[in-house]
Amino acid sequence: MAPISITPPGPLASKWISPPCCGFFGSSTYLVRACYYTALIETEDYSPLRPLTDWLAYNGWRVVTKPAKEQADPTGRRRIKGNMDIELAVDMMELAPHLDHAVLISGDGDFRRVVEAVQRQGVKVTVVSTMESQPPMIADELRRQADGFLELADIGQEIARRAPEQRARPAPPPPTNGARASRITPADPYGEAPEIEPE
C-alpha cells in the first residue's frame, strides 16, 4: 500500500472533507494524515470557520491553526492576514520520508519549491485546484512542477459534502368506521376535533 497525505490549506478544504477521496489514487493507498491549515480571528466571538475546524478535528483531521493578524492598510481599511504557508511546507517536509504520494489542495505558486523538495525525496505530488475559475486558482508554475493535477471541478461531485437525505413522513392513518379525521391542523391548532361516536 502506498502512504498518502492530504494537505489542504484554508477554505478549499471545505470542499474536500472526506478522506475516502484516497480512492482517486488507487485502491492500494492508505491515508497517513489529512491536515487542514487556517488562520482564525481570535478577537471575534464567533468565527464561521470554527464549526468546520471542530468537525474536521473530531473526524480525524489534524487541524493546524494560528491567530490571524489584523492590520490597517495605507487607506486605513482593516486587513486580516493569516498566512499558513510555512506551517504547511514544514509539515510536508517532515512527512516526506514516510510517504509515497502527497496531495496538496492549493493553487498557490509559493508551494512550487516545497513540492520540488518533496519530489527530490522520492514523493509523488498531486495538486488539486481549479483552472475553471476566473482568474484560475492554480499558478502555472505549481501545476507544471506537480506530478499530477486534479481539476477540482472534475471531482467535485465525488468529494463534496452531501446534504442529508430527506426522509419521507409517514402518511397519517386513515379514519376508522367512516368517521372524519380531526380538524386540528398546523394552520388551525385550536380547532375542535369532532366527537366520534362508536357504532
Specify the number of domains making up the chain: 1
The CB-side HSE value for 127 (13 A sphere, CA atoms) comes to: 27
pLDDT digits (tens, 9 = 90+) for 50-106: 888 888 899 888 999 888 888 888 888 888 888 899 999 999 999 999 988 899 999
**Pairwise pLDDT comparison (22 vs 143), residue with the higher score:** 143
Residue 102 cell numbers, joined: 502527497
| Whole-angstrom distance, CA of residue 100 vs CA of residue 3 | 6
Question: What pLDDT sits at residue 51?
Answer: 87
Task: Name the range with the highest mean pLDDT among 21-35, 76-90, 101-115.
Answer: 101-115
Please check whether residue 137 lies inside any domain of the structure. yes
pLDDT digits (tens, 9 = 90+) for 137-184: 999 999 999 999 999 888 877 777 677 777 777 776 666 665 555 555
Please check whether residue 186 lies inside any domain of the structure. no
Please check whether residue 125 lies inside any domain of the structure. yes
Please check whether residue 139 lies inside any domain of the structure. yes
Please check whether residue 31 lies inside any domain of the structure. yes
The whole domain housing 107 covers: 2-70+78-159
Please check whether residue 198 lies inside any domain of the structure. no
Question: What mean pLDDT comes out for the span 13-17?
Answer: 37
Closest CA to 152 of 86, 116, 103: 103
The pLDDT of residue 47 is above 60: yes
Residue 113 cell numbers, joined: 519549491
Please check whether residue 124 lies inside any domain of the structure. yes
pTM of the model: 0.67
Contact 36, 64 (CB under 8 A): yes
Please check whether residue 19 lies inside any domain of the structure. yes
For residue 143, give the CATH number of its domain. 3.40.50.1010
